[in-house]
Amino acid sequence: MCREFELIHGDCLAEMPNLPEAFFDSVVCDPPYGLSFMGKDWDHGIPGPHFWREALRVAKPGSYLVAFGGTRTFHRLTCAIEDAGWEIRDCLMWLYGSGFPKSLDVSKAIDKSAGAERPVIGTWRPRGTARPKADGRGGYRGKTAGIGSHADAFNGELSITGPATDAAKQWEGWGTALKPAWEPIILARKPLIGTVAANVLEYGTGGINIDATRIGTCGGTKRDGQAPYLLKPNGKEDRSVGRARTGHGVVELPKGRWPANVMLDEAAARVLDAQTGILKSGDWCGQPNGGTRTSGNKIYGKKRSLPYFYKGDSGGASRFFYCAKASRRERGAGNNHPTVKPLDLMCYLCRLVTPKGGHVLDPFMGSGSTGVACQREGFDFTGIELTVEYLQIAKQRMLPKK
């Protein structure tokens, strides 16, 4: 559980000036994409530099900003963040397999403009996210959807129509958009004061937590800071040569692969693994700096490299990337926010950029996924949300039940 959290109702541009300067350890958010998503008023523009300039003011030097964007508009988001004074450090990719195409059927549009009724040529039964809802959100929205007044998703069959006019036949199979399968995530940092080392020591910010976000594998061990003895012709160590450095013992290496700037959901991971098949990484040993050590010209027999072992593993190519697992129940009861992110993903991102016990700001809180992630990870949290409906959902998800 996070130690402290505050949920604020209001426009973040009006509320952030009330927050203390250089206070937050990180900013993690999912701002509007400027796509007029599903007709929502809050998604009609990209937050400009004035938003991110205020976020810069309340962040500590060296604090990181994580901001999701849309594939068509993230360039404007990136420029706005940079123009506000943040340093762009990377652009992460979240790949997912559950996106729903939001494309206009050109053939149907031609028939509609001609006033022609399309013939029914078959039926289909929508499954999963393609099923329409009783309130009309998402999925199929045609007149034949048969949406009732009940709250459950439609479970019947829908009509499949064919082109009615010659022009519609010519353009059958044409659309206007691809299936969405990834979202960019802007990674930026507030300028440091001095060096990274000095900034980290003074403010506790400036780096990203590599070991806490490694991708699971078995890790390994290495010798602790000692060069090898050389071998005599009889195969025994020549201890008279000595070591270039001192140190003893075996040190555990951090478990897992270095985190990448690409992340997957389970569906995308399955697609990737189906394409690559089962692969195997061999056991490996060598020197951390990639060579062997000698002492002058006194070389007896074979050279030896520092022991540095990794145990091999096997699986699909998805094992090289972080995979966010989403639960059907993680939204919480009554959560109708259209762009809820997987909690595993938000936990991962908060853990990547926030020091232990740090305080996270989300100026575009929505239904509170960042806050729930902070609760799980033990971070303090401040969230700002303009829409009362989403603020109430966030409170239900985060505040303790009475």
Sign of CA dihedral 281, 282, 287, 289: negative
Q: Which of 102, 84, 117 is nearest to 39 (CA)?
A: 102
pLDDT at 273: 85
Domain ranges of the chain: 5-99+182-213+321-398, 106-170, 220-261+276-320
pLDDT at 295: 42
Which of 127-141, 263-277, 302-316 is predicted most confidently?
A: 263-277
pLDDT at 129: 53
Burial of residue 42, with CB atoms counted within 10 A of its CB: 0-12 exposed, 13-18 middle, 19 or more buried:
middle
pLDDT at 321: 85
Report whether pLDDT(305) > 80: no
- Domain 5-99+182-213+321-398, CATH: 3.40.50.150
pLDDT at 269: 85
DSSP 8-state assignment for residue 55: H
pLDDT of 340-356, one tens digit each?
688 999 999 999 999 99
Which of 141-150, 227-236, 260-269, 294-303 is predicted most confidently?
A: 260-269
Q: Other C-beta atoms within 10 Å of 178: how many? A: 11
Over pLDDT 70: what percentage of the chain?
67
Under the banding of pLDDT at 50, 70 and 90, the label for residue 289 is: very low
Question: CA 217, CA 313: separation in Å to the nearest integer?
Answer: 7
Question: If you average pLDDT over residues 53-77, what whole number do you get?
Answer: 96
Question: CA 198, CA 264: separation in Å to the nearest integer?
Answer: 35
pLDDT of 91-143, one tens digit each?
999 998 777 788 999 999 999 999 999 999 998 887 655 555 544 444 433 33
Q: Which of 2, 6, 32 is nearest to 18 (CA)?
A: 6
Under the banding of pLDDT at 50, 70 and 90, the label for residue 388 is: very high
- Residue 281, C-beta contacts closer than 8 angstroms, at least 6 positions apart: 310, 312, 313, 314
Question: CA 284, CA 286: separation in Å to the nearest integer?
Answer: 7
Per the prediction, the chain carries an average pLDDT of 78
Report whether pLDDT(245) > 60: no
Question: CA 20, CA 259: separation in Å to the nearest integer?
Answer: 32
